[in-house]
Structures are given as C-alpha cells and as structure tokens.
Amino acid sequence: MSESLKSLQRTRRATGISWYWYAGACFLFFSGLLVGLTLTRVYPPTRITVDWNTTHQTIDGFGAAVNSDMGTLPPNLMDFFYTTSGAHLSFIRVHLYPDLADCEVDDPAHSCVSSKNATISKSDLANVQAAVARGALVWAAEWSPPGSMKSNGQYMAGGAFLGGTTNMANLAFIQASFVTLLSATYNIPIYAISPQNEPDVSQNYGSCTWTAQQMHDYVPYLVKALASAGYGSTRIMIAEQGTWSNTYSTTAMNDATVASMIGILASHGYREPATELHWNNFKTQQVWETEVSDFAAYDGSITSGLAYATELHNWLTTAQVNAWHYWLLSGAAVTDNSGLTDHSNNLAKRAYTFANFSKFIRPGWQRIDVTNTGPLLVSAYRGPDSKFAIVAINNSRWTARNQTFALNGITSQRSLVTPWLTSASVSLEPRSPVTLTPRGTVLTYTIPAKSVVTFQGQAD
C-alpha cells in the first residue's frame, strides 16, 4: 500500500474517531442537560401571601383515640404524642362503657375498672392518665347504651336506641357518672361527652342507631344530669355520625334552646370530602372532625403521610374545623392504617406529617388568610406574642425552588424562621433558620419534593 493511501486511511480513522468522540460528547452533554433539567424542574414562579389581619377559625387542638385493644402504650410513645418533643397533641378520646358487664364483654383480654355505673378499661385509664400527665385534655364517647335500652336487647350487636323519658334519664345519669368516676376518683376532668358514637351505624359490635329527633330530645337530659353531678361545665358534643355531615345535629340546632346547650358539633371524616357545614342558631359552638383513618393494608410511608397532611389541610381550610382527630394513636391491635403507628408501635410517617400541624398550631391560635395560586398547599396560623406557623405541603415529585412567602401586616426582622421538614428520609426535623428579606417581609425557601415543611416564626 502506498504511503499516500496509508495517510488517507489514517486521516479517515482520525476523522472517524473525532466524529465518534464529538457525537459521544454531544450525547453526554445533552443527556446530562436533560437529566439536570428533569431533576431540577421547578414550578412556574408563584407568590404566596400570608395575611396577618384576615383571620378565620380559632383552633381548639388536635387528637386521637385510645381503645383497650392496643394495651398500655409505652412512655416514649406518649412522650412523642403529648409533649413538646413530638406531636404535642391536645386531646385524647376515650371509650365510655355504660357498665362493668358491657366493658368486660367488649374487652375480654383486659380488665375493666370496677364501677356500679359507667366505667373504663384499665389500659385506657392508664393511657389517659399518661396523656393528662403530659398536659392533654380528655373527652369521652359512648359506643352503645346498655342492651336493655336497645331494640335488640344486646350491647354488642348494633340495634336502635329505644328512647323515651325513662331510658333518656337513665342513660344521662350513666354518662354523667362516667365524668364523676374519672374526675372524682382519678382527678381526670372530662372536657366533653359525646352521647353516641356514629348514631347512623348499626354493626356487629358495640354500636347503636339514633334518630336526629332522639338526639335533640336527649341533650337536655344530659345537661341536667351533668349539672346535678356537679360537672355542668362539661361540653355536650353531637352527633359524631360516620360520614362528614350535619344531618344528625340539624334538628337539635334548629331549636334555639337546645342549640344553646351544645358546645361541640362533631362528625367523622370518612368517605365525604371536607366541606363547610352550616346550622341554624350557630353561635358559640365549635366544629370538630373527630375520627378518620383508612383500613387498607398498613402503609407507614410518606405516601400515606402526604395523604393525611392533605386531608388535614382541607379540613382546616375548607371545612374550617376547630379541631381534627385521627382514629387511633396506636396500631398495636390492627394491621391496617387505623393507627398512627404500626403493629409494633413504630411511628408511621403520617404521625410526623400530623405533627407538622399539631406541634406548632396550638389551642387558641387562629388560622389566617393565605393567597396562593401555585400548586403547593399552604395554610398559616397566628398565636400569642406574634408567633406564627406556615405549613406548606408539596405533593409533587418536583422541588419547589426558591418559593417566596410574603407577609402582609407583619414583619419579622429580629427573629429567624425555623423550617421543620418531614419527607421520605426525614421526620419532623428542624433545618437551618432563615432570615426574611427585604425588611423582614419575604421568606424564600426551597420546598423538597414529596414533603411537608412547617415554618415556625415570630413577628416583630
């Protein structure tokens, strides 16, 4: 082969190598650019404004229930739920049994407190005592009247409340005696009494249906019984029906005299979306969501955590409830999502995203207005001493970079704002404090994908 031909082949090979190198470099560059754009994709710029001067409902607090099946909960778990180191819940809901026999039928694996009238299981009592020692308030709900007051004569098998003057007077005495038992014997005040859990449900457990008229008729009996027992300040809560609705409380609220006796209008959060409910004679009553969970196979991940953070956001902003409750504190007795823990009492992510609200939004705080045109879910709250909390939920797989929050009506120049993050890898963790600029009116922060961030701050 001639030298000229060899030279031509070397040139072709060199050119080919250069071309391949160039094509490969271009491929890597544009692939990296595409990956970079994908990983750093941001929302279109939005401005979220928090208006200090436009207020909505006052917050009573947050809570969950205990039942005897979960047993006595360990101290470290109660510390998380009811102290400032964790979720700092305000309420614990407890099961009111009408008598010892019915308690022992419902709770064969655990003993019940001896009482000739209403009673409580010993494990529930231990959990309530632990919560109260940590600052919680207690409210009680009855699942069923005694079988003698029901259409089928059985405590544990559904049926309907018979009503009537005698039954209503006797049931009111029983429920007032529960307040006496816990208050006088164990020094545990009862914040509120719910006469019937889910009066629209009759199932093969301690349950009982009532009519709306019966609920109306019963309220004065319970008020009288509580006053006679010396506990007239205990609030009456109705009607805790199984789905978010006011159909079981409307009749009572249509009567101005009976309405004035009602302290809390409550319903469960199952199946129906969070909507604002309305009543006649609505004056000083508070509106509570008192139970929600789901019964799918246990999911302790951030997916469930975000789902319930979103629910909680909607209950507070759309339904404008004063209090919100999950169903059970512990999942020790179940294998689904009924509790805030798994079967071994390990905390689920939903316990932490719940805490992104309850830890910072304290009883007596007010929700304040938020203007938000972007995809984040944002709510804001103000408390005493110009303290505030802003909760931002990012349900997307995209990061919200350099998201701005403008404060209207306040400034925060002297105090740093602390973000608290819950995500797949982090559980209610404080991050480095940030400064608001300019002049303490604008907070800028990057909200990670699939996360909840609560900004804890104080105005000047």
Which pLDDT value is given to residue 112? 96
- Which tokens go with 340? 């805030």
Which pLDDT value is given to residue 44? 61
Residues (pLDDT < 50) of the chain are 1-40
Query: pLDDT digits over 48-57, tens only?
Result: 999 999 999 9
Which pLDDT value is given to residue 266? 98
Query: pLDDT digits over 362-386, tens only?
Result: 999 999 999 999 999 999 999 999 9
Which pLDDT value is given to residue 47? 87
Which pLDDT value is given to residue 17? 37
Which pLDDT value is given to residue 407? 97
Hey, what amino acid is at 399? T
- CA nearest 145: which of 126, 164, 127, 122? 164
Which pLDDT value is given to residue 153? 97
Which pLDDT value is given to residue 110? 75
Which pLDDT value is given to residue 46? 83
Which pLDDT value is given to residue 238? 98
Q: Quick check: pTM over 0.75?
A: yes
